[in-house]
Amino acid sequence: MKAESAANIPDCGKGEPMKQSKITALYSRLSRDDELQGESNSITNQKIILDDYALKNALPNPTHFSDDGWSGTRWDRPDFVRLMDEIASENVAVLVIKDMSRLGRDHLRVGLFLEQLRDNGVRLIAVNDGVDTARGEDDFMPFRNILSEWHARDTSRKIKAVFQSRMENGKRCSGAIPYGFIRNNGSTHDLIIDEEAAVIVRRIFQMVIDGKGVNDIARTLMNEQVPIPSEHFKRIGMEVRSKTYTDPYAWSPTTISYLISKHEYKGTVILGKTKNITYKGKKKAVKVPSEEWFVFESALPAIVDAETWENAQRLKRTVRRAPKCDEAPNPLTGLLYCADCGSKLTNRRCKNRDGYRENSYNCSRFRGVTRLCSMHYISTRNVEKLILFAIRRVSRYARGNEADFTEKIREASTLRQENAVREKKKTLTQSKRRHEELNGLIRKLYEGNAEGKIPDKHFGRMLAEYDEEQTVLEAKIAELEAVVDNYNADTVRVDKFLELTRRYIEFNTLTVPMLNEFIHKVVVYEGDRSSGKREQKVEIYLNFIGKFSVPDDYNEYTPEEMQRQSDAQAAKEQRSQELYLVRYEKSKAKKREHTAQRDAGLLTSEEMEADKLRVERNRIRHREWRDRIRAAQPPKPPKQLSQNAIIQKKSEGLPLTTEEEQVYEAWREKRREQHRAWYNSNRSKAATT
């Protein structure tokens, strides 16, 4: 750094009061682009030039205003804003700058600023450009301002081109280093894992898998006095962008959510997600469509695996609210879906009419006023049992029958066998080779046409044929690559699921990490009572493999395990029966005691009133139950009249039904037969006598 001038020239600070007499403002500015042009543009060199000019020309009260590291396209420069305030207050007599580009690189804004100088009677001096408004207007000043702006525009265009080239090659353009990484030998593009911070990152992701929310995670880290990212960078000697924090352990939910969403932790680098609207000023960046991003898989060493990262994103998007009672949110929330409308099922915890706390799920569209869907009721306990049973059964089958399991997954995914894929790969290689040959032929075709060896007529026909063949090949190559990629991805998914099953030795209890790692979604159908008892269909989709059905003849238990389960179930039923009998006897004894006290007149008036209300309530409940049973039963056919009643009805001239007519006719025919028998018997007796 060059030394300052020997003259005692004050450098105006932000809190220093301004002198009453007018000053000579010495303004200097340096941007990052100006630094590349050498030491001549440095702030120190500018101050020396301005000090020497002020001394030689005896300018009064020289005072420095400096903006180091600020672009000329920015008009919110701190000392420039302070300079404008002094000019507006008419405290400035002369403004001295090294050249006109130090004011700014926007000719319209510079022109307005010059008008403000004229209105306030401020003399402007640009030392290197020979500008001094005391000697009259400079006709070339507008052109200098335009050239300065062109320089800024050209520099911005070059920087954008450099950044574009870097991003296309997978090189990061930002100097910010994600928490959990450090530079390798000072390189911004080559990052390695910072193990101390990576432990915290892995722990955050595991806490998400364990069902913790961002607020709980932030509170836990803060209570354990874990340094926030800025404090960690400061302690290891890296640059810190945010220096405004006061508590080095104050983790915020926003920070946790931001860390969870970073793709770098699974090894993926995404560049070009935003772009600036203009090079003028610090304008807000706009988002770039995702199809225009530069995505590089495995560009960084992964701190967490891709499955854990994707699982954490799904869990982070799920909103879980604790009920009004002092209970935690149910971990099943966000996993259960309605089979009819596709909406998520919501958790319901309340007391039913019997006073028991009910924990269940209903369709979210049923709970509204409009009732757009049916209830789809399912108890939390039942769905947890189904999920645990599915995880245990599929995992045991997969570990014990890996080959059959892999084959069934491929069949379920409608993928071809390995031989078919091998043929696809062979065809894909041939298609790519032919595509490259066509590129060479087209290149030679252009050269032959340019040299006059191939006439334009033949050139157009042959080019169209080659272009059509290339178009067909490109579509075929894309289709073949999709088939091969799907086959490879399917094999990877099977391996990932098998690796997941090996993490767990027993599946006796459904834990939150197990639920979040195994289950993708659960589809719940409406209950069906057509068979006389409520039945409900539930489809469980597992991560990596989707919905999988274990063969019906597969038995996951050994004979010893089955015997143990049978004995345990028998003991459980016996214990339940014993507890039921105990409760029944206690209830009967309590009722007998209450009845004896009532009959003896030992109950108080309040107890008598409560007893009457209880009896009346039980009668009403029993009547409602009886009405529901009757309403659910099919209507009974009308009672058939007796034979004597039908005869009496006929004698009274009342109309008979078809069945009653048949009964009456049968009775008449029987009477006729009896009369004929009697008549024939009397005739036989008369003949013998």
Residue 242: which pLDDT band, with cuts at 50, 70 and 90?
A: low
Q: What is the mean pLDDT of residues 290-306?
A: 80
Axis-axis angle for helices 214-223, 253-260 (nearest 10): 110
Contact 312, 341 (CB under 8 A): no
Cα torsion at 435, 438, 440, 441 (round to 10°)? 170
For 419: left if phi > 0, alpha if psi spans -120 to 50, otherwise beta; the answer is alpha
Name the more confident of 353 and 398. 398
Assess whether pLDDT exceeds 70 at residue 248: yes
- Alpha carbon dihedral 648, 654, 657, 658, in 10-degree steps, equals 80
Q: In 464-574, which ranges are E strands?
A: 519-524, 538-542
Tokens of 127: 């030392």
Judge contact between 152 and 105, C-beta under 8 A: yes
Give the mean pLDDT of 234-261.
Answer: 84
The DSSP call for residue 670 is: H
Give SS3 for 213. coil
DSSP 219-232: HHHHHTTPPPHHHH
Residue 253 phi, psi dihedral angles, 5° rounding: -60, -35
Nearest 5 degrees, angle CA 417-CA 492-CA 484?
A: 45
Confidence of residue 640 (pLDDT cuts 50, 70, 90): confident
Higher model confidence: residue 565 or residue 666?
A: 666
Q: To which H or E segment does residue 55 belong?
A: helix 43-56
* CA angle at 590 for the pair 587 and 593, rounded to the nearest 5°: 150
- What radius of gyration, in Å, describes the C-alpha atoms of the chain? 45
For residues 36-48, one letter each, b for 16 or more C-beta atoms within 10 angstroms of the residue's C-beta and e for the rest, the string is: eeeeebbbbbbbb
Calculate mean pLDDT across residues 601-624.
89
- Give the pLDDT band (50/70/90) at residue 525: very high
pLDDT over 50 at 618, yes or no: yes
Phi, psi of 544 (to 5 degrees): 80, -35
Residue 499 has a pLDDT of 81
- Return phi, psi of residue 346, to 5°: -105, 145
In terms of pLDDT, which residue wins out, 304 or 317?
A: 304
CA angle, 262 as apex, 295 and 234 as ends, to 5°?
120
Across the range 181-209, mean pLDDT stands at 85
pLDDT band for 287, please (50, 70, 90 cuts): confident
Residue 324 pLDDT greater than 60, yes or no: no
| Residue that wins the pLDDT comparison between 463 and 241 | 463
What is residue 620's predicted lDDT score, i.e. its pLDDT? 92
Per-position DSSP letters for 148-171, written without gaps between them: HHHHHHHHHHHHHHHHHHHHHTT-
Distance CA 582, CA 585 (A): 5
Neighbours of 56 (CB within 10 A): 8
Residue 615 burial by Cβ neighbours in a 10 Å radius (0-12, 13-18, 19+): exposed
Average pLDDT for 14-34: 68
Look at residues 93, 89, 64, 65 and name the one whose alpha carbon lies nearest to residue 77.
Answer: 65
Q: Taking 50 as the threshold, does the pLDDT of residue 137 lie above it?
A: yes
Share of the chain above pLDDT 90, in %: 11
Question: What's the rounded mean pLDDT across residues 597-613?
Answer: 87
Q: Return the higher-pLDDT residue of 528 and 37.
A: 528
Q: What amino acid is encoded at 555 in this protein?
A: N
pLDDT at residue number 628: 86
User: What residues have CB less than 8 Å from 91, skipping those under 6 apart?
Assistant: 18, 22, 23
Band the pLDDT of 164: cuts 50, 70, 90.
Answer: low
Question: What is the structure's pLDDT at 26?
Answer: 92
Helix (H) or strand (E) segment spanning residue 686: helix 658-688
Query: Can you tell me whether residue 315 is helix, strand or coil?
Result: helix
pTM: 0.49
Structure confidence at residue 34 (pLDDT): 55
Q: Which of 120, 88, 83, 92 is nearest to 22 (CA)?
A: 92
Average pLDDT over residues 114-136: 83
Q: With 90 as the cut, is the pLDDT of residue 523 above it?
A: yes
SS3 content of the chain, % helix, strand, coil (to 5): 55, 10, 35
Q: Render pLDDT for 396-422 as a digit per residue (tens, 0 to 9).
A: 888 888 888 877 776 665 544 555 566
H or E element at residue 85 = helix 78-88
More confidently predicted of 10 and 220: 220
At 424 the pLDDT is 73
Per-residue model confidence (pLDDT) at position 96 = 92
For residues 448 and 658, give the distance between their C-alpha atoms in angstroms, rounded to a whole number.
104
- 544-555 pLDDT, tens per residue? 888 888 887 777
- Residue 28: C-alpha distances to residues 11, 63, 69, 77, 99 (Å): 12, 11, 11, 11, 9
Closest CA to 48 of 83, 7, 93, 95: 7
pLDDT above 60 (res 140) = no
508-533 mean pLDDT: 86
pLDDT per residue over 51-101, tens digit each? 888 888 888 889 999 988 888 778 888 899 999 898 888 899 999 998 888
Joined together, the tokens standing for residue 396 give 């045991």
Confidence at residue 199, expressed as pLDDT on a 0 to 100 scale: 92
Q: Which two tokens stand for residue 506?
A: 């027993």
Q: Inform me whether the pLDDT recorded for 165 exceeds 70.
A: no
3-state SS of 579-629?
HHHHHHHHHHHHHHHHHHHHHCCCCCHHHHHHHHHHHHHHHHHHHHHHHHH
Confidence of residue 40 (pLDDT cuts 50, 70, 90): very low
- Side-chain half-sphere CA neighbours of 112 within 13 A: 7
Is residue 153's pLDDT more than 70? no
pLDDT of residue 223: 92
User: Which percentage of the chain shows pLDDT scores above 70?
Assistant: 79
Q: Which of 133, 124, 120, 125 is nearest to 89 (CA)?
A: 120
The pLDDT mean for the chain works out to 79
